[in-house]
Amino acid sequence: MKYLPIMDLRIRHAYHADGRCADFVVEPGDETRRLLAGCRCLIQAFPDGLQVLAATADGAQPFLPLPTGKTLVFFLRLTNDDFPLFTDLTDLEGQPAPVFTTVGADQPVAVAGQTPPQALKLTFATAAQTERFVFPANATSAGFALGGRPLAGATAAQCELTGLDAAAVALAETGRAITVTAAPSPQARDFAVSYPVLPGLPPGVFARVEIVVGPPAAPGAATSAYEIRFKSRSAKWRYYLVSPPAAACAYAVDFGPTASFDPAVPDAADPVGQGLLAQYGAAARIDCFTSRTPVPAAEAVPTGLRLMKGSDGEPLPAPALRNLCSLGDKAPAFFCVVRRM
């Protein structure tokens, strides 16, 4: 049996030197797994994604093409605990159910006759909960306690009533109760109310991926290729220098055109600097050098980063990802302690 690649999904990250992100395991959802098996497709896993292959007789067309318009669902499971340290997650803050999808994604533009992979669009899942109640006979207004928890910031306009004519609903400030007004009736009436709730993902899942199947490709056409793209986190760097006590600091930190570093002494609100002062006391001088601008996190060892003493310089390491401190404006920074005693 021959197999033809029909879809390619890869994860890219600016932090990694080769751009390939191997920080996740990509798994198909149960329905997608059954659909692919029914169409005689195989999944080949890669460190940075996966590829779907279809059984073929002539090497050009699948036996059973995937149904056009069907949504293939995959899940991203994070395997690298350091991922949040070097990734810009600003767009995901406060969002419990991120979704990377082809819906609304920009179409790639061919360059030199080659069409690049389509970058999936980041959206967020929505969910609703429905509950049933009984509106009392002859009443024009009644209150009800909700069993679920409406989404923070939900409004009455987002609640949908069914089963009552000319009815309206109001949400209490707590969001856990509703007041329903309706035309009176001599009989009690069942009704339902639907309201938005916090969506969720399966345990251990970072994000959901949704790829809508397009029309069957022409024989010999390129594999449908998609990418999920992450940006590096940018933060200022700070170096703490422990050196022999002297009247003035003889050192400087130089990073060429990438970033300039301002020298200072640790202030009272700097726990790392104060910890070093407490550790060394009068036996050492403690100085700190902070980059004026944020530096993007990168896996590759930076070049040009040097500790200077006059015209002499020595290479400096990049701060470790787990070395986080807080600057005066409460912004996080990566730090490194350098001892020259």
pLDDT of residue 200: 84
- In whole angstroms, give the CA distance from residue 168 to residue 156: 9
Q: Helix and strand tally (H, E) in the chain? A: 3, 25
Is residue 231 classed as helix, strand or coil in its secondary structure? coil
Report the DSSP pairing between strands 127-135 and 168-171: unpaired
Q: Which two tokens stand for residue 12?
A: 């890219």
Residues forming beta bridges with residue 308, ordered by sequence position: 252, 313
Residue 166 DSSP symbol? T
89: Cα within 13 Å, side-chain hemisphere? 14
The one-letter amino acid code at 214 reads G
CB 273 within 8 A of CB 266: yes
Burial of 90 (0-12, 13-18, 19+ CB in 10 A): exposed
CB 319 within 8 A of CB 272: no
pLDDT of residue 248: 77
Q: Is the dihedral of CA 92, 229, 205, 80 positive or negative?
A: negative
Condensed to tens digits (0 to 9), the pLDDT of residues 29-49 reads 999 999 999 999 999 999 999
pLDDT of residue 8: 96
User: pTM value?
Assistant: 0.84
User: How remote is the C-alpha of 120 from its chain's centroid?
Assistant: 13
Locate the domains of the chain by residue range: 2-125+200-230, 127-197, 234-339
How distant, in Å, are the alpha carbons of 42, 139, 333 from that of 301? 38, 72, 18
Residues of the chain with pLDDT under 50: none
Element (H, E) at 32: helix 30-38
pLDDT of residue 246: 76
pLDDT of residue 162: 92
